[in-house]
Amino acid sequence: MADRHQWWTRAAAAGAVAALLLSWATATALGDDSSSGGARPQAAPTASAAPAADATGLPPFGAFTDSGAQGVANLAGLQRWLGGTPVRVGHTYLPGDTWQDIEGDDDLLTPWADWTKAEPGRMFVLNVPMQQDNEAHLSDGEVAQLIRQGADGEDDAHFTRLAQRLVRLGLQNAVVVLGWEMNGTTYSHRCGPDPDGWKIYWNRIVAAMRAVPGQHFRFDFAPNRGQDAIAWTQCYPGDSSVDVIGMDSYDQPAGESFYQQVTEPYGLQEQVDFAAEHKKAISYPEWGLFRNGDDPDYMSLMLTWIITHHPLYQTLTDYCPHGVWTCDQNPESSKVYRALLYAQQTAAAFAAPPARTPSPAPTDGTCTPMRLTAQMRKEYASGEVCVHLTPKQRPGQSDAQPATPTPQTEQPSPDEPSPQSAPQTPEEPTVPAPEGTAAPQDGSSAEGDASAGESSGAATGEGPEETDTAQAPASPTS
């Protein structure tokens, strides 16, 4: 399998053990305070609590906390909470109510443009709907008709105007997450009613935006993890119009292990292998907690997966119930996230992703080890904890062994509209620099980030499916 990181074990429970080890180490580093970063100050983790960075640093990361100016202002606080680890990725969503929304709005985009240009190596990620009335719960027949109109070129002008606006504002290098979670059922820009027409429509949008002088956009194809309504591979529009293969991956459905999230058909491993086959970078535009509550094991394993697979970028969804900083519902996961990313260096956001070329799977007894802290090595003399992952077969695939079928029970998809109540900006903790590390690296632009947000309000966009009690910013659903 291409660029496949084999985590090896001799017991089915070893994945959970590895997660618990990481969770234990990070919880110990942070002390007994059970609050999240957004609630009250915590003791700073020691430098050894985070894994050693690769030569190029951790993959560029950010978090979605809110749209517009408030989302920009929050990034400086997140960076302080993480001991100065550079937050290099800004992420927001265009609303999908009208075509005018999809053409962009200066009040929404200007604060992000100012933040992106304020420091070299920053990246701006923008989710762009492919249809107006994107959360109108249209029938498949209505969606199929909209897809045909788009495939015929009726909507090209809207995306040309968006591209022109982005270039004018200095966001010509934006990563465009176009028609995200297209394999689901919620959005009007879903693929299922007419996959062939949808691919033609995607290619027309990309062609229209790339035709604008001065643009250097990268287009991110980002389905939900797993089967959902349609296999996301059936929606893939082709290598010429895709630069990044992303995946939105939340800790759901309830009771599903991280091992299953990796090995299920169209899961995390298939994303990595598919991207390698097509010579594309990978990304994680949306991820976080969900159906399994405060789950530090998931947080440890997902962060380890991300760090070892070198995505172009990753952005946590950081409102409740998914997040760990502005959301105070997940204190144990918050400790893990903070400890693993505290006082680290990150790669420049525009560094070329590492090549992903096919290679044979390692034989038993070899693995890519999870990075363990010095304290953990004292407890475990080998210095390694590995988990061996074997992908499930896809439904319908013939082999001597019967394939594990994709569950047919209704599974919540992280693509329903989120509630519109915005979270409060978290109280800023005073965090001393860990012993033996450099002081926090907010940079002189941190105050500018906050002040830049005074001029515009948050916009409504789209992001993860929520429970009735979720508190989300006035923006995405996932």
pLDDT tens profile 34-49:
333 443 334 443 332 2
pLDDT at 363 over 50: no
Range(s) of the domain holding residue 408: 14-455
**Nearest C-alpha neighbor of 45 from the set 320, 344, 254:** 344
pLDDT at 1 over 90: no
Alpha carbon distance 336, 352 (integer Å): 28
Tens of pLDDT, residue by residue over 260-273, are 999 999 999 999 99
Q: Give the integer Cα–Cα distance in Å for 161 and 88.
A: 27
pLDDT exceeds 90 at position 137: yes
User: Can you name the residues that pair with 288 across neighbouring β-strands?
Assistant: 250
DSSP assignment letter at 254: T
Domain count, the chain: 1
Quick check: is 379 catalytic? no
CA atoms of 316 and 286, how far apart (whole Å): 6
Domain assignment present for residue 33? The answer is yes
Q: Is residue 173 part of a domain?
A: yes
- The angle that helices 331-341 and 296-309 make with each other, rounded to 10 degrees, is 30
Catalytic residue, candidates 264, 286, 416, 465:
286
In-domain check, residue 47 = yes
pLDDT value for 150: 98
Count of residues making up the chain = 478
Answer yes or no: 454 catalytic. Answer: no
Residue predicted with more confidence, 52 or 314: 314
Is 367 a residue whose pLDDT tops 60?
Answer: no
In a domain, 437, yes or no: yes
Query: What pLDDT band is residue 224 in, cutting at 50, 70 and 90?
Result: very high
User: What's the pLDDT at 119?
Assistant: 95
How many H-runs (helices) and E-runs (strands) does the chain carry? 13, 10
Is the pLDDT reported for residue 138 higher than 90?
A: yes
Catalytic residue, chosen from 135, 181, 264, 332, is 181
Query: Domain with 279 in it: what CATH number?
Result: 3.20.20.80
First-last CA distance in the chain: 29
- The closest alpha carbon to 330, from 288, 292, 295, belongs to 295
Distance from C-alpha of 109 to C-alpha of 126, rounded to nearest angstrom: 10
Identify whether the C-beta of residue 172 lies closer than 8 Å to the C-beta of residue 216: yes
- Residue 69, pLDDT > 90, answer yes
Q: Can you give the pTM of this predicted structure?
A: 0.69
Please report whether residue 465 resides in a domain.
no
Q: How far is CA 171 from the centre of its chain?
A: 20
Residue 381 lies in a domain: yes
The neighbouring-strand residues paired with 91 are: 125
- The whole-angstrom separation of Cα 161 and Cα 150 is 15
Domain membership of residue 467 (yes or no) is no
Alpha carbons 405 and 122: distance in angstroms, whole number:
42
With respect to residue 444, please indicate whether it lies within any of the assigned structural domains.
yes
Round to whole Å and give the CA distance between 192 and 186.
11
Q: Are 449 and 76 in contact (CB under 8 A)?
A: yes
pLDDT of residue 344: 84
